[in-house]
Chain A
Amino acid sequence: MAELLFYFLSAAALISALGVVTSKSPMASVLALLGSLVSLGGIYLLAGFQFMAAAQLLVYAGAIMVLFLFVVMLLNMTDIGALDEHSTRSFGMRRMAVATLAAAGLALVGMAASTLTSSSSPLLAKGTDSELVATGYDNLQSIAALLSSRYVLPFQASAVLLLATMIGVLVLAKRRRGQNFDGQTSGQPVLPLQGDGSPSEASQPKQPKAALPDQPASSPQESAEPDLVHSSTKKGAAQSLAATQTQGGQGL
């Protein structure tokens, strides 16, 4: 029974992986990746590694998938030319629905598999894995002991890695002053100096919200333009105040 479930989950993981590679839409691809991750979590559970299955579901299928889906939806890639023109919207949506349903079904299968690998299950009473489970094959305590004794240096290094990742992501993804994201915020003022026309707010050198240019940067030459604006804001508050009063009307 568990063997049949393993081969079913392997086939699901492989088919989902092929769906990741072959699907046109990035959304369908990411949802197929979710199906592959969940079925791999079920395989971990069947192999007796309960904590690894939990970490797979929590970190991969939870956090990383949310990150992927967030970026796909943020970039709104169903509208831009990164996709093929052949993939119509309804076809992509149907694929997405199928992938999501498959992932949910695989999650249910994985939960059902947890009952099979428990030590009290009569189905696996003769197997070696059930004996391993009964003797604490993958309990959290031994992993924690291993992490804090033998692998304490990689554990600490991983903390440093997470901190560096956090800072790096902030530096990379932070919207710089005068840099626009895409056409969705095109209703904002042109120059950062022209925030809402009030001189008291524009004369301050640090204003985070009003620094949105009007036109989306559709080419590198145009995207280099707000940097000039950004450097000009550092020259002086008095000059920016004068620029606000002279150019305040034409941008809006």
Chain B
Amino acid sequence: MNVPNEHLLILAALLFGIGVAGFLIRRNAIIVLASIELMLNAANLTLITGSRMHSTAGNLNLDGAVFSIFVILVAAAEAAVGLALIIALYRLKQTVDLDSVSDLSG
């Protein structure tokens, strides 16, 4: 694939922007969590692009790939904890609408 790295970075930036927009606009907690997953995926794509950018034919660079493995691991942990929080919230409030969970905002 002879795609320049800038296109990969642009794709990652667009995905991250869409994730940020969904995180800020949507009020369903599960969709907000899905938007966070989108942002983490964009970060993964950026890390992998960095690894591709810094490796040549003879000199391999896999640091970005290893970091993206850690990002995938953190994303899995975050999804598990976030979904458990959503379950606990639904048990308490019978809704997952984030606007209805503003008790601490005064």
Complex alpha-carbon distance, A181 and B88, angstroms: 9
Q: For residue A246, which residues in chain B have a CB less than 8 angstroms away from its CB?
A: none
Q: For residue A220, which residues in chain B have a CB less than 8 angstroms away from its CB?
A: 92-93
Do B69 and A21 have beta carbons less than 8 Å apart?
no
Complex alpha-carbon distance, A167 and B52, angstroms: 37
Q: For residue B77, which residues in chain A have a CB less than 8 angstroms away from its CB?
A: 161-162, 165
Residue of A nearest to B92 (CB): A223
Give the contact-size bracket for chain A: 35 or more
Do B11 and A60 have beta carbons less than 8 Å apart?
no
Q: A29-B30, A44-B48 are in contact. Are A179 and B96 (CB under 8 A)?
A: no
Task: From B1, B51, B88, give the contact of A6 (CB < 8 A).
Answer: B1
Q: For residue A29, which residues in chain B have a CB less than 8 angstroms away from its CB?
A: 28, 30-31, 34
Do A71 and B87 have beta carbons less than 8 Å apart?
yes
Residue of B nearest to A53 (CB): B48
Do B83 and A14 have beta carbons less than 8 Å apart?
no
Q: For residue B90, which residues in chain A have a CB less than 8 angstroms away from its CB?
A: 75, 182
Complex alpha-carbon distance, A154 and B97, angstroms: 36
Q: A68-B79, A77-B96, A161-B73 are in contact. Are A47 and B48 (CB under 8 A)?
A: yes
Do B63 and A26 have beta carbons less than 8 Å apart?
no
Complex alpha-carbon distance, A132 and B44, angstroms: 20
Q: Does A169 contact B (CB under 8 A)?
A: yes
Task: From A17, A47, A82, A165, give the contact of B95 (CB < 8 A).
Answer: A82
Mark out the residues of chain B between 1 and 57 whose CB falls within 8 Å of any chain A CB in the assembled complex: 1-3, 7-8, 11, 14-15, 18-19, 21-22, 25-26, 28, 30-31, 33-35, 37-38, 41, 44-45, 48-49, 51-52, 55, 57
A interface footprint on B78-106 (CB within 8 Å = 1, 0 otherwise): 01110111111011111111000000000
Task: From B15, B35, B66, give the contact of A151 (CB < 8 A).
Answer: B66
The majority secondary structure among interface residues of chain A is helix
Residue of A nearest to B15 (CB): A17
Do B75 and A14 have beta carbons less than 8 Å apart?
no
Do A71 and B91 have beta carbons less than 8 Å apart?
no
Do B95 and A81 have beta carbons less than 8 Å apart?
yes
Instruction: Give the Cβ gap from A117 to chain B, nearest Cβ, in Å.
Output: 7
Complex alpha-carbon distance, A216 and B90, angstroms: 12
Do B48 and A169 have beta carbons less than 8 Å apart?
no
Do A59 and B94 have beta carbons less than 8 Å apart?
no
Q: A3-B1, A3-B2, A127-B2 are in contact. Are A33 and B38 (CB under 8 A)?
A: yes
Which residue numbers of B lie inside 8 Å of A, CB to CB?
1-3, 7-8, 11, 14-15, 18-19, 21-22, 25-26, 28, 30-31, 33-35, 37-38, 41, 44-45, 48-49, 51-52, 55, 57-58, 60, 62-63, 65-66, 68-70, 72-77, 79-81, 83-88, 90-97
> Can you name 14 A-B residue pairings with CB atoms under 8 Å?
A3-B3, A14-B11, A26-B30, A33-B37, A43-B45, A55-B72, A56-B72, A75-B87, A75-B90, A77-B28, A128-B57, A142-B60, A161-B74, A223-B91
- Beyond A21-B22, A67-B79, A68-B79, 9 extra complex contacts between A and B, CB < 8 Å: A17-B19, A56-B44, A59-B76, A68-B34, A68-B83, A128-B57, A165-B81, A172-B87, A179-B91
